[in-house]
Structure 1
Amino acid sequence: MRTKLAQKDFPDDEIEACLQFCSEKGYINDERFALLVVKSQVSKGHGVNRIQQVLTQKGITKLICQQVLFDTEYDWFALAKAKAFKKYNGRPVADYKEKAKRIRYLLGQGFRYDEAQYALDENT
């Protein structure tokens, strides 16, 4: 919000006063905003790394980001498996090259390597 007001050439003291007023009234809450962003990104099928990146781009501090992600109760392994199943329609991995391609895709979606491995494991 500070950035938006500064772009519109509001004086710094007015920006600070506005932010102080809004935070006292509860209109600005970074934790609530971060939680909404996490829910939105999970519904898109993104993993922890991608969500952290989005939160950082939106100006959320690392502390709040880590706290919100720690407090959520998502099964990241199951989400990675669901993302892989949706993308590849449950087709088995043909060879090593195909497996590497699928792992790269899941890593690009923000999942960790162990989550991507789990998602592609046919025994789980």
Structure 2
Amino acid sequence: MTALVSEPLEDRVRKSKSKRERSPKSAYDRGLDLLARRMHFAAELRTKLARRDYPEEEVDGAIERLAADGYLNEHEAARMLVRSLKRRGYGRRRLELDLRRRGAEETAAAAALEDVDDEDELERAGLAAARWRAAHPGRDVPALARHLERRGFTPRTIGAVLFDSPDEAVGSSASRGSGRKKSASRGAGKRQARR
């Protein structure tokens, strides 16, 4: 059996062209391509175009031109992102985090988050909790609380969903007490088993 021999690394590097040489499109055209797929923030576009080895001046010019031509709109991108994440059942903290992570301008992020009210947040958290309970029957309240926290809901909203709910399995004071006792007794059993 013969072993496969690959080309030496130096040969492969010499044969490959830089990303910019393989991409004859201007930064503006590449930006249009990216915006055709989905809305972007200026910071996202700047990062993606820079990764393709476009000069900084060309990137800046392309972003200015895309904004002037109406293709790049920070406020609309922020509103669309918030709407999408709300539809998928995420909380306000997650919305803020994703806006910041993607590079939304502060004014655009603040304007988009104005549409998020407490009642809407409570409703989304309740729906997320109901879906989680249906998918994880028999799981304890702390696990549900952790799930809601990971989805970006505030402790106040999580508490309202878990303990102000008319649902006997989660909301009543009797189930709250018994849930805590079960958790404590499970932990005690594990500690004794280790000894």
Task: Please indicate the TM-score interval, normalised by the length of the shorter structure.
Answer: 0.7 to 0.9
| Number of matched pairs | 120
Q: CA deviation at 1:102?
A: 1.6
In the alignment, structure 1 residue 45 sits paired with structure 2 residue 119? no
Corresponding residue for 2:124?
79
In the alignment, structure 1 residue 16 sits paired with structure 2 residue 60? yes
Of the three residues 146, 166, 173, the one matched with 1:123 is: 166
Corresponding residue for 2:76?
32
Mapped to 2, the partners of 1:118 and 1:42 lie a distance apart of 18
CA RMSD of aligned residues (A): 2.4
Q: CA deviation at 1:36?
A: 1.0
Letter of the 1:7 counterpart = R
Select the structure of larger CA radius of gyration.
Answer: 2
**Please, which runs of 5 or more residues in structure 1 have no aligned partner?**
none
Moved over 6 A (4+): 91-94
**Please, which runs of 5 or more residues in structure 2 have no aligned partner?**
1-44, 168-195
* Contact 2:94–2:153, Cα closer than 8 Å, also in 1: yes
Q: CA deviation at 1:29?
A: 0.6
Letter of the 1:77 counterpart = L
Deviations 1:63-83 (A, max 9, x none): 422221113457101110111
Q: CA deviation at 1:93?
A: 8.8
Q: CA deviation at 1:28?
A: 0.5
Q: TM-score, normalised by structure 2?
A: 0.55
Tell me the SS of whatever aligns to 1:75.
helix
Letter of the 1:29 counterpart = N
With over 3 angstroms needed to count, the CA separation of the structure-2 counterparts of 1:112 and 1:93, relative to structure 1, is: farther
Deviations 1:25-55 (A, max 9, x none): 1110111111111111112111111111111
Mapped to 2, the partners of 1:81 and 1:122 lie a distance apart of 9
* Contact 2:121–2:157, Cα closer than 8 Å, also in 1: yes
Corresponding residue for 1:3?
47
* Contact 2:132–2:144, Cα closer than 8 Å, also in 1: no
In the alignment, structure 1 residue 70 sits paired with structure 2 residue 117? no
In the alignment, structure 1 residue 99 sits paired with structure 2 residue 141? yes
Q: TM-score, normalised by structure 1?
A: 0.83
In the alignment, structure 1 residue 110 sits paired with structure 2 residue 152? yes
Letter of the 2:156 counterpart = D
